[in-house]
Structure 1
Amino acid sequence: MVIYTLVEASTRNDAVATGKAVLDRLVRADPHGGTVFDYFVTFDQEGSTVAENARWGDSPVATRVDSDEVQEPLERGWDATKSKFQRNLKRVREALDKLSDDEIMRNRGLARHAFHQVGAYDGPSIFLYDECGCGIWHRGQLDRVLEESEELWIVPVDVHF
Structure 2
Amino acid sequence: MHMVIYALVEASTENEALATGRTVFNRLVGAEPHSYAVFDYFVTFDEDDTTVAGKARWGDLPTAAPINSEEGGELLDRAWNATKEEFQRNLDRVKEAIDELSDEEIMRDEDLARHAFHQVGAYEGPSVPMYDQHAMGIRHRDQLDRVLEEEEDSQTLWIVPADVHF
> Per the shorter chain, which TM-score range?
over 0.9
CA distance in 1, matches of 2:150, 2:70: 19
The CA deviation at 1:47 is: 2.4
Aligned to 2:91: 89
Paired residues of 2:11 and 2:158 also in contact (CA < 8 A) = yes
CA distance in 2, matches of 1:46, 1:88: 34
Aligned to 1:152: 157
Q: How many residues align?
A: 159
Identical-pair percentage: 65
Cα RMSD after superposing both structures: 1.5
Gaps of 5+ in 1: none
TM-score normalised by the chain length of structure 2: 0.91
Deviation string 1:69-96 (CA, Å, 9 cap, x unpaired) is 2221111111111111111111111111
CA distance in 2, matches of 1:76, 1:45: 21
Deviation string 1:129-155 (CA, Å, 9 cap, x unpaired) is 000000000000001111111210000
Aligned to 1:28: 30
Aligned to 1:65: 67
Aligned to 1:3: 5
The CA deviation at 1:50 is: 1.2
CA distance in 1, matches of 2:160, 2:118: 27
CA distance in 2, matches of 1:34, 1:96: 32
Cα distance change, pair 34–98 in 1 and its aligned pair in 2 (3 A): farther
Q: 3-state SS of the aligned residue for 1:28?
A: coil
CA distance in 2, matches of 1:75, 1:148: 19
The CA deviation at 1:34 is: 5.2
Runs of 4+ in 1 over 4 A off after TM superposition: none
TM-score normalised by the chain length of structure 1: 0.94
